[in-house]
C-alpha cells in the first residue's frame, strides 16, 4: 500500500514536470529562427539569427509604449508575437507625427547602424540591398 502511494506520487510529479515543459514550450515565444519578411509593397528580408550573432540586444529594435528597450527575458515571456509589431504603435494614431510612416521608423531604426557597423562589419545601405523587390522606390 505504501509503495503504491509513493508510486502514485512519483507518477504525479513526473506528469506535472512533463506538463510544465509542454506549457513552457507552447507558451514562450523566443526569436524567429528563419529570416522574416517585413512589409508587402516594398518587402525587406530580416534575419534575426544573423543580427543576434552580432550580439545586438533585442531592445535595440523592440521597445515598449514608453520607448524603454525591452529586455530579452521580457520578450521571451510574451506569448503572442503580434504584440511586437511596429505598426501596433506606429500607425496613424501615433502621437509623434514623424514616427507614423513605415519608411520613417524602419529607416531610422535600421540604417544608421548599417552605416556605422558592428564589430567591423557594415550592413547594406543601398535601397535595393534591403528591398529585394520593386526597388524600394
- Give the x/- contact pattern for ligand HEC in 76-115, rule: CB under 6 A: -----xx-xxxxxxx-----x--x--xx-xxxxxxx-xx-
Residue 135 near residue 126, CB atoms below 8 Å: no
Residues 6-45 that bind ligand HEC (CB under 6 A): 29, 31-32, 38-39, 41-45
Nearer to ligand HEC, 27 or 81 (CB): 81
Contacting ligand HEC (CB under 6 A), which of 1, 24, 26, 137? 137
Residue 5 or 121 with smaller CB distance to ligand HEC: 121
Contacts 24+ apart (CB under 8 A), 75-80: 75/29, 75/31, 76/28, 76/29, 76/30, 77/28, 77/29, 78/29, 79/27, 79/28, 79/29, 80/29
In this complex, which beta carbon is closest to ligand HEC, that of residue 27 or of residue 117?
117
C-alpha cell at 63: 521597445
Amino acid at each position: 500500500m505504501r509503495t503504491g502511494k509513493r508510486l502514485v506520487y512519483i507518477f504525479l510529479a513526473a506528469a506535472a514536470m512533463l506538463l510544465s515543459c509542454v506549457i513552457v514550450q507552447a507558451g514562450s515565444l523566443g526569436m524567429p529562427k528563419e529570416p522574416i519578411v517585413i512589409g508587402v509593397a516594398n518587402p525587406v528580408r530580416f534575419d534575426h539569427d544573423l543580427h543576434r550573432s552580432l550580439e545586438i540586444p533585442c531592445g535595440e529594435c523592440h521597445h515598449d509604449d514608453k520607448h524603454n528597450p525591452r529586455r530579452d527575458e521580457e520578450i521571451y515571456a510574451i506569448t503572442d508575437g503580434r504584440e511586437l509589431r511596429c505598426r501596433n504603435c506606429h500607425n496613424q494614431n501615433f502621437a509623434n507625427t514623424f514616427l507614423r510612416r513605415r519608411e520613417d521608423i524602419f529607416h531610422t531604426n535600421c540604417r544608421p547602424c548599417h552605416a556605422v557597423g558592428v564589430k567591423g562589419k557594415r550592413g547594406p545601405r543601398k535601397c535595393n540591398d534591403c528591398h529585394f523587390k520593386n526597388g524600394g522606390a
